[in-house]
Amino acid sequence: MAKRITIDPVTRIEGHLRIDCEIDGGKVKNAWSSGQMWRGIEVILKGRDPREAWLFTQRICGVCTTVHAVASVRAVENALKLEIPLNAQYIRNLIVAAHAIHDHIVHFYHLSALDWVDIVSALKADTAKTSRLAQSVSKWPINSQQHFKDVQERLKTFVSSGQLGIFANGYWGHPAMKLAPEVNLLAASHYLQALEYQRTANKIVSVLGGKTPHIQNLAVGGVANAINPSSPSTLTVEKLYFIKTIIDEIGRFINDVYFVDVCAVGAFYADWTKYGSGVTNYLSVPEFPLDTKGTTFELAGGYIENGNIGAFKPIKSFQDDLFKNGVKESIKHSWYDGNWTKHPWEEDTVPKYTDFKDDGKYSWVKSPSFNGKPAQVGPLANVLALYASGNPIAKKYAEKALATVSALAGAKVPISALHSTIGRHAARAIRCAVLHEVLLKQWNLLINNIGKGDTATYNKPEFPSGEIRGFGFHEAPRGVLSHWVVIKNGKIKNYQCVVPSTWNAGPRNQSDDLGPYEASLIGNPIADPEKPLEALRTIHSFDPCLACAIHVVDKNKKEIVKVTAF
C-alpha cells in the first residue's frame, strides 16, 4: 500500500518548498512540488520608473541578488533597443561570473554535500589514510595528516559539546550513506575550506558592484563604475589587479578541490546515475556578451528536446525570437485567479489561495513551459548546450570529469550519465571550471579595452511615448532567468519574472505534465520513509531557491509594520 510523506519545509535551500511523495515498494510513485509563499514583486513594480526596476527585483532574493539586477536592466535596454558600452558588458560579465562561482561552491559544499557525506562517520577516520587518499587524487597543498587531525579534533569538539552546530539535523548513519570514514573526513575538511573560498570569490562582486548582496553599480544603459587610471576613487588598475589575484586564488580551489571532490563523490555513488533524470527538455541561454548589442557571446545557450544533443537549437541574441516566442506560464495548478496559459507580457499576478489539492491548485509557483513543454534549467542544461555547440573549454572539462569518475569507479561512465541526480552535481562542477576560465578572459578583455583608451561605461536611455516591450535573460547559477517588461509612457505597465526555480519547481502544467522536481523524483529509492534522504538528494541537486519564486502576503491584509522615512 502506498505511503504519503510530506517534507515541509525542505531545508538547506533558500525559501519555502514543500515536497509530497507517494511511496510504494520502496520507490517514489508520484510527487508534488509546492512553493509555500507568494511573490508580489511584479505588483510592486507597476507604475514605477523602469530605471528603478533592477533595484527592486534584486530584493527578490538575499542570495541571487545580482542575477535579477542584470536581467532587469537587460529587459529595459531590450525594450529601448539600447546598446551599452563594451566596458559595461565586461564589468557585468565579471560580476556574474564571480557570483556564479561563489554560488556553485556554496551549493555543493554547504547545501547539498551533507546528503552524501556522513560527518559523524568522519570522527572514526584514520587521518594518515585520509592524507594519503587526498594526495593521491589532488595536488592541493592542504592535505597533510596534521591538517586532517586538526579538522577531526574540531569535529570532536562539536560532538562532545552535545551539539553538531552547522552539521546538526543531518541523517547521519542513514543506510544510503556509503562513503568510508576517511572520505567523509576529507569532504568535511573541504567543507570548512570552502567557507573561505566562496567568500573570496564574492569579493570580486563587492569590488565592482560596490557591495554584496545587492550590488549598487548597475544602470539602465551600462554601469556606474567610472574608469580613470589616475583617480583612486574610480575603477583603477590597482583594483583590477587585486581582482586578478582573486581569480588566480579561487582557480586553484576550483580545479584541485571542488572538481576533484565532485568526481570522487560521483564515482562512489555511481548508482545514482540511474535516478533523478526527470524532464529531459533542457533550456539555457547564451551568456557573457562580447559586443555592445548582445549578438555574440562567450558561452552558448539554447534548447535541447528529449535529451537529444544532436537536435540542439541555439538562442543567438538578446533579441532572439526562439526564446521570445517560446516562453509561457500556466496557472492551472497555481494559487492565482483564473486558469490560463499566457506569454509573460500578457500575464497578470492576482493571488487566490485555496487549500492544497492534489488534482487542483497546490502551489504559489507558476508553471513555465517552452514551446508548450516543461523544461529543466540549470548548469546541466547549460553544459549540455555548451557541449552540443562544440565549446572547447566545456568539452575539455566534461571529458576530464567523465574520465576521472570512470577511473575511480572502475567502469566507463558515458555523457548520458549526466541525465541524473548526481549528474547535476557533475555539470555544476564542470560549469564552475568553465566559468573560471571565462572570468580570466573577461578580465583580460576589460584591461585591453581600457588600454586602448576606451573609458566609457554608460549610455543615457531615452524613453519614448506610447507602449514598448522588452525582455532580458541571464544564465544564472540555477539556470535561465528572464524578466519581461511592458512600458507605457515611461512607466512600467506590466512586469513578470520567470526565474530558474519557477522552471524547475513549478507544479503540473496546462497539460498536467509533471514539473522537473516532480518528474525527477519518480522512481527514486526511499529506504526509510521517516528519513527520506534520497528524495532530498534529488531535490537539492537542482539547488532550489524558492525566494526567487515566492514572497509573502497576508491574505487578510493585516498590517505588520509601517516604516516612515522622514
| CA distances, 462 to each of 87, 135, 170, 226, 335 (Å) | 20, 59, 54, 21, 38
Helices (H), 138-258: 145-160, 181-209, 237-253
Between CA 362 and CA 346 the distance in angstroms is 23
Between CA 32 and CA 23 the distance in angstroms is 12
Between CA 361 and CA 339 the distance in angstroms is 10
Local structure of 484: helix, strand or coil: strand
Q: Please name every residue paired with 497 in a beta bridge, in sequence order, or none if there are none.
A: 483
Neighbours of 337 (CB within 10 A): 11
CB 481 within 8 A of CB 473: yes
Angle of CA points 280, 281, 286, to nearest 5°: 120
Chain centroid to CA 397: how far? Answer: 19
Closest CA to 76 of 466, 370, 456, 491: 491
CB 266 within 8 A of CB 422: yes
Between CA 511 and CA 79 the distance in angstroms is 32
Active centre residues (catalytic): 14, 61, 64, 68, 478, 501, 545, 548
Kind of pairing between the strands at 327-330 and 367-370: antiparallel
Between CA 418 and CA 403 the distance in angstroms is 13
Q: For residue 210, is it left (φ>0), alpha (ψ between -120 and 50) or beta?
A: left
Helices (H), 312-420: 321-326, 379-389, 392-409
CB 101 within 8 A of CB 436: yes
